[in-house]
Amino acid sequence: MQQGGAPSRITRSECLALAERYQSHRWMPDKANVRHGVDTAGISVDTPDVSYQRLGAVPGWWRPGGWNTGMPYQWGGFATPEDFDRGIAAGLAAGDVYTLEKRRMLEAAVSQEATGIDCSGFISRCWNLPRSYSTRELGSLCDALPSWDVLLPGDILNTYNSHVMLFAGWEDAARTRVVAFETGVPPYWLVVRRTSSRTELETKGFQPLRYRGIAE
């Protein structure tokens, strides 16, 4: 591990460029990449394709047989865009949606027959980490920021054992609207760049953190 408890070094511009790659990644699945049921290990898998329309759940979005943009969410996923494309070509399930049961089972609910990226895997890739660090672990690599007002692109907003997003900037001069990259937040089952209310995120308990290995 490098100086300051950081297992990697990356610049802010490199971090944001990686995030953009995930958001803009184009890929073409077929019916072999659709999966609804259990894998050979007995783990439940549901791809967020358009056929996923369960009552009370966030519906799926990607379509087989055509181009899709944005890497899909996969519980426990840590794929690079290249890994993902190889997995799709090999017939892996394209993504795997989050459920409360998967949250309960944690790593035991990760299917090896699916490919994609989850929220903490996404941050881990954007920081060029050697493995996926969960939302329970990311804080150990970071310094807590004294205020949201000092956030810089490449920092994160994290909720322990729940969700994490990559800060990209402020939408307004008053710093009331946060622009961030994230995945797996309703109604999106893919990596997106979106704007959220600072007040809403603060109310939900998001904490501003700075990776010790990021170059200023």
According to the 3-state scheme, what is the secondary structure of 98-136? CCHHHHHHHHHHCCCCEECECHHHHHHHHCCCCCCCCCC
Q: What is the pLDDT along the chain (216 residues), one digit of tens a residue?
A: 444 579 999 999 999 999 999 999 999 999 999 999 999 999 999 999 999 999 989 999 999 999 999 999 999 999 999 999 999 999 999 999 999 999 999 999 999 999 999 999 999 999 999 999 999 999 999 999 999 999 999 999 999 999 999 999 999 999 999 999 999 988 899 999 999 999 999 999 999 999 999 997
Cα–Cα dist 32/127, whole Å: 32
Question: Structural domains in the chain?
Answer: 18-122 (no CATH), 134-215 (3.90.1720)
Backbone angles phi, psi at 19, to 5 degrees: -60, -45
In angstroms, the CA 165 to CA 98 distance is 16
Backbone angles phi, psi at 85, to 5 degrees: -60, -40
* Kind and range of the H or E run holding 12: helix 12-24
Measured distance between the N- and C-terminal CA atoms of the chain, rounded to whole angstroms: 19
27 φ/ψ angles, rounded to the nearest 5 degrees: -155, 155
Interior/surface letters 110-128, b for 16+ CB within 10 angstroms, e for the rest: bbebbbbbbbbbbbbbbbe
- The per-residue pLDDT for 4 is 56
